[in-house]
Homo-oligomer: A and B are copies of this chain.
Amino acid sequence: MPISIAIVEDDADIADEISKLIEETPDFKLSCCCRNMHSALERIPALAPDVVIMDINLPDGSGIQATAQIKRILPKTEVMIFTIYENTEDIYQALEAGASGYLLKRSSSSTIVSSIRNMMKGEVPMTAAIARKVIQSFQRKEASTQSNPAMASLTPRELDILQLLAKGHPTKEIASQRSISVDTVNTHLRRIYEKLHVHSRAEAILKYLDKK
């Protein structure tokens, strides 16, 4: 069975180019070609293509919004973002919306074809440069966990324990992960509760997640 592909792209030249590429590839099949978000959301859900090639800058909205909508209705459909700029925030949001690939428009035909095939295999095709950008932004998000006011009174170790707590680990597991005794973990927990003015694990976790 051929891979059915829909295109959402407002630029007629680029849309034609991709259309031709799809028609020329033996096991690819063009499902439909939309010029804006509105018609994409109207036609694609009924067609349920395997793949959607999605432009970000559409005349009547963002391809990221469209991606989120389509993925909600068709979770199995893979969306490949296809754009000119490698804007970090866009990439991040696109992945969050459920996109499975992020290609630049200057990519070669063979890259596009192989990326679609790889995407169907469960990979997340993108250039190394884009991948690095995403990781950087991911990295920064994690790093921002650093500072917060109420948590300031906690010692490094206590914060460490609290973070494990906030992942849902039971005491026993925290102890083994940090190679310390259960008693020690409990001591830390008691002090954490005291400092955060809470009386249970759940409250401590909620307080921690709040201040993030």
Give the interface of A toward B (CB within 8 A).
61, 65, 68-69, 71-73, 75, 95-96, 98, 100, 122-126, 128, 131-132, 134-136, 138-139, 142-143, 146-147, 156, 159-160, 165-168, 170, 177-179, 198, 200-203, 205-206, 209
What residues of B have a CB within 8 angstroms of the CB of A209 in the complex?
A: 209
The answer on a CB contact under 8 Å between B132 and A138 is no
Copies in the complex: 2
A72-B159, A167-B206 are known contacts. Are A95 and B131 too (CB-CB below 8 A)? Answer: no
What residues of B have a CB within 8 angstroms of the CB of A160 in the complex?
A: 68-69, 72
What residues of B have a CB within 8 angstroms of the CB of A122 in the complex?
A: 136
Q: Which listed residue, B73, B142, B147, touches A95 by the CB 8 Å rule?
A: B142
Q: Which listed residue, B73, B156, B167, touches A156 by the CB 8 Å rule?
A: B73
What residues of B have a CB within 8 angstroms of the CB of A65 in the complex?
A: 177-178
The answer on a CB contact under 8 Å between A96 and B142 is yes
What residues of B have a CB within 8 angstroms of the CB of A200 in the complex?
A: 168, 170
The answer on a CB contact under 8 Å between A202 and B135 is no
In the bound complex, how far is the Cα of B134 from the Cα of A124, in angstroms? 10
